[in-house]
């Protein structure tokens, strides 16, 4: 995607379920050859069963370099 894009979401459900997330992307150079994208999310939930809960965290940054018309180099990381 060569145009900036920003989005976010926050989901709340029963049993203390929370899930905020963001997804942003855009240009790093004026010639539109170097782009970035960043995704992150967190999730927490309890349960109707005592002492049972869940937590998770996700992060995924990425860089895209458009070397030429037919060549693109992508660096991606997930945690």
Taking the whole predicted model, whether its pTM rises above 0.85 is answered as no
pLDDT the model gives residue 52: 81
Please say whether the beta carbons of 51 and 69 come within 8 A.
no
- How far is residue 23's CA from residue 37's CA, in Å, rounded to a whole number? 7
36-45 tens-digit pLDDT: 999 999 999 9
Q: Cite the beta strand spans of the chain per DSSP E.
A: 5-13, 17-27, 34-45, 54-66, 72-76
pLDDT over threshold 90, residue 9: yes
**Residue 50 belongs to what domain range?**
5-76
* Cβ neighbour number for residue 35 with a 10 Å cutoff: 21
33-76 tens-digit pLDDT: 999 999 999 999 988 777 888 999 999 999 999 998 899 999 99
The total number of structural domains that make up the chain: 1
- Strand 34-45 with 54-66, pairing: antiparallel
18-37 tens-digit pLDDT: 999 999 999 999 888 999 99
* Cβ neighbour number for residue 48 with a 10 Å cutoff: 7
């Amino acid at each position: 995607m060569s145009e900036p894009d920003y989005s976010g979401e926050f989901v709340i459900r029963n049993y203390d379920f929370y899930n905020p997330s963001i997804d942003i992307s855009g240009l790093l150079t004026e010639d539109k050859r170097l782009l970035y994208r960043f995704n992150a999310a967190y999730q927490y939930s309890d349960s109707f069963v005592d002492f049972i809960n869940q937590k998770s965290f996700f992060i995924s940054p990425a860089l895209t370099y458009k070397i030429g018309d037919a060549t693109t180099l992508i660096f991606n990381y997930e945690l």
